[in-house]
Amino acid sequence: MKTIFGRNRSGTLFMKVLYSYLLIITLPMIAFGLASYYWLTNAIEKETHAAYSSVLEDIRGEIDRNFQTLDTFAVQLSYMPWATQLMNMEGDSFSYDRLDIGLLLNILQELRIFQATYPFVDELAIDFKSKNTVLSSVGKDSRERFFTDLMRYSRRTADDWSALLGQLNNRTILLPEEVRVLNQPKRLLTYLHALPPGDSGFQATLLLFVREETIQELLGKSAVAKAGGSVYVTDSEGRLVTDYHGDPGVAAALQQRIPREAGYTLYRSAEGANGWTYHLAVPTGALAAKLESVRLVAAGLVLFYLAVGVAISLLLARRDYRPVAQMLSLVGSRRRAADNEHNEYRILEKTIYAMLGDADRSESEMLLYKPLARNTCLAKLLRDETGQADMARTMELLDITFPHDEYRCLIVLLGEEQTVPEPFFAQVNAGLDARAATVYWVELEGRSKAVILNVENEAAGERALEAIRGALQSMNVAYRAIGVGRPCAGPGELHLSYADAQRALEYRFTQEDGATLYAERFEEAVYWKGAIREEEEIKAALKAGHAAAAVDKARRVVRAEAQGHRLPLGAIRFLCYRVAVVAFLALEELNIAEAPAVSLNGLLQQKELDAMLDAIAGLYEDAVRLVAAEREGRNDHLVRDIKSYLEAHFTDQNLSLTAVADAFGISSSYLSRYFKSQTGTNFIDYVNRCRIEAAKRLLPGDATIVQIAHKVGFDNDITFRRLFKKYMGITPSQFKGYP
């Protein structure tokens, strides 16, 4: 110890390093150990309670599902043709002159099939109220003979049953009692359901008999019950229905509604669908022993973390002693008087990071963000969104220079889903004379790319424009048009040239694809510069196929603008052109390549307002015709293509309405409405049915239900089981056992 703490090792410095490590490492580890102790004990306790509660919920869910199957069978039975026929047959009995013996045998066979298919039911029968007749899996009997010879209850006579069956019974459950079935003793629970269900004018009653042992087997499936726990079932009135490994004291406490019983911890489920409540009794000693062992382990972890923290602190302090002392001597001359701290390690940390880290960090961050910052700066310059003084300083920092006197802005409008390959920009630069032209590309929203040309003279500008067109053509980059703004005198006026280029692009519909539109070709004196506020309304009417509404709104817009501003003939032409272009924009948004027959150039040659409005009306009607033709053509084959796509991709777990809509280039809301109108079923239901049909083909094989669920496109087997039961009426496990 003397070699560690002795004066020959400058104990003050060493102890400070050691104290730092104790503070940084040991204290957090102790805190972590204590937190682990409390977390582990609380987590185990909560997990234990949650596990037992989950066991009860599983039991409740299993029994509820079995009784829900009985409900479903009662509903299905009500609407079977033979059941309806028998319930509505006149007379007070079934006479063989009106009831075919073959039909009766088929009915009995169907009842036996249900009894054999669903092992939860031990016996079943149908009592016909006004016929004094009971049909069961055994045969056809009178009510008195059935409850005297076939099903003889120890506490109920045939007269008791006549009175009970004369009442409306919907989901009535009689608690288990002793019954002799064909002279064999059994304890049976009796389930009664009126036919038709819920009808005060019922005509028959379905009786389903369930063995108490069957319910007890379901209660005893859990590992907790098998390991010594006991399960109890009480009805809504607190009466004991049945139990598994029951203790008389616990059962009595439950019926007296006492919250706990000595020696046991009780867990209680929510009330089930049939009004039953499930209770799990676990010996208190078993829980206490489990929690005590967890606490001992957690306490051991606290001590372990303490020992590890001290050991690591000591090792790190010894390792750092010599390097720290040497570094202190190296940086001592650089320390300021204000840095006179007692923690030498902090001094070293601050000094070294200050000397070596700042410059490299600043330089790397500048290189990383410079391209993005440059594009943002140029975009603001085009939109005139910043002051000139701030912009000049920013351009200097980002190495944006304009060495020439003439400025002009271009906008390249790309085709649908068209991108520009990276080698394109290198090819354009290779075709330019750097001494005569400087080019900056600006990424904009949508399909547009802006180009800032800074050139020596007009000829250099034309050569730069030609180089851009040549690169677009050589690399097969599809573009609609290039808008060219007027020349301007400096960077501060670039936003004017940019606005000119945008206006020039509005006249692309008068040209072929790939045209270059110069803003100078449009006379400013007669150019209409207003905005059509109703443009979206007109466009929506055209897309919806309402030509008359669109024409009416267009006429009102043109006349209001022309009269309100007293526009000259030239401005009226441009106004009418702008209103007419809405039809082309609507077709463009609907991806309809065919253009209307009306010529926009012809519209600009008209000399009368009425002639222009008539031309717009003809254009709108032609556009609506194209929209209708496109929809009709799509309706013929789209639904078949969508079905084929779904049948090929339904196993994809990521298949969604949005993904399919994107694949067909339509909106998800339109796809949902269209698919329902064409098929009569919704999208999700169709996909689920495809998956269930595929699962039916796989279930007879060796694959597990979980594997089959994933193979057919479900992300978990719980959803698969629920939907299979919904569509098929039985569970996948039951289907898997079919031949």
On the question of pLDDT at 8 being above 80, the answer is no
CA distance linking residue 577 with residue 616, whole number of Å: 9
CA distance linking residue 345 with residue 286, whole number of Å: 53
Entry field: residues in the chain: 739
| CB neighbour class for 121 (10 Å; exposed up to 12, middle 13-18, buried from 19) | buried
Predicted confidence band of residue 356 (pLDDT cuts 50, 70, 90): low
Q: Residue 408 in 3-state DSSP?
A: strand
Predicted confidence band of residue 256 (pLDDT cuts 50, 70, 90): confident
Q: Which of 513, 519, 558 is nearest to 538 (CA)?
A: 558
Mean pLDDT across the stretch 230-250? Answer: 84
Q: Which of 143, 137, 141, 131 is nearest to 109 (CA)?
A: 137
C-beta of residue 165 within 8 angstroms of C-beta of residue 205: yes
DSSP 601-644: HHHTT--SHHHHHHHHHHHHHHHHHHHHHHHHHHHHHHHHHHHH
Residue-wise pLDDT tens digits, 305-352? 778 877 787 777 667 655 655 555 665 555 554 455 555 555 555 665
Which domains, from first to last, does the chain contain? 401-522 (3.30.70.270), 535-632 (no CATH), 650-736 (1.10.10.60)
Peptide bond between residue 491 and the one before it cis (omega within 30 degrees of 0): no
On the question of pLDDT at 7 being above 50, the answer is no
Q: How many other CB atoms are there within 10 angstroms of residue 495's CB atom?
A: 18
| Better-predicted residue by pLDDT, 674 or 360 | 674
Long-range contacts of 509-513 (CB under 8 A, 24+ apart): 509/581, 509/584, 509/595, 509/600, 510/600, 510/601, 510/604, 511/481, 513/415, 513/478, 513/479, 513/480, 513/481
CA distance linking residue 420 with residue 468, whole number of Å: 12
Instruction: Give the torsion through C-alpha atoms of 619, 624, 628, 634, to 10 deg.
Output: 80
| Better-predicted residue by pLDDT, 369 or 27 | 27
Residue-wise pLDDT tens digits, 412-459? 888 655 667 767 777 887 777 766 788 888 887 666 788 888 888 888
Mean pLDDT across the stretch 214-227? Answer: 74
CA within 13 Å, CB half, 65: 15
Tokens 């750097």, located at residue: 434
Tokens 């006429």, located at residue: 555
Amino acid letter, residue 379: A
DSSP 229-294: -EEEEE-TTS-EEEEES--HHHHHHHHTT-S--TTEEEEEPPP-TTS-EEEEEEEHHHHHHHHHHH
On the question of pLDDT at 538 being above 70, the answer is yes
Q: Which of 284, 278, 292 is nearest to 54 (CA)?
A: 278
Residue-wise pLDDT tens digits, 151-207? 899 888 888 898 888 888 888 899 999 999 888 898 999 999 888 887 677 888 988
Q: Which of 228, 210, 220 is nearest to 118 (CA)?
A: 210
pLDDT given at position 5 = 41
Predicted confidence band of residue 1 (pLDDT cuts 50, 70, 90): very low
Predicted confidence band of residue 714 (pLDDT cuts 50, 70, 90): very high
**Average per-residue pLDDT for the chain:** 78
Cβ-proximal residues to 43 (8 Å cutoff; 6+ apart), any chain: none
On the question of pLDDT at 111 being above 70, the answer is yes
| CB neighbour class for 41 (10 Å; exposed up to 12, middle 13-18, buried from 19) | middle
CA distance linking residue 378 with residue 399, whole number of Å: 12
CA distance linking residue 99 with residue 102, whole number of Å: 9
Predicted confidence band of residue 461 (pLDDT cuts 50, 70, 90): confident
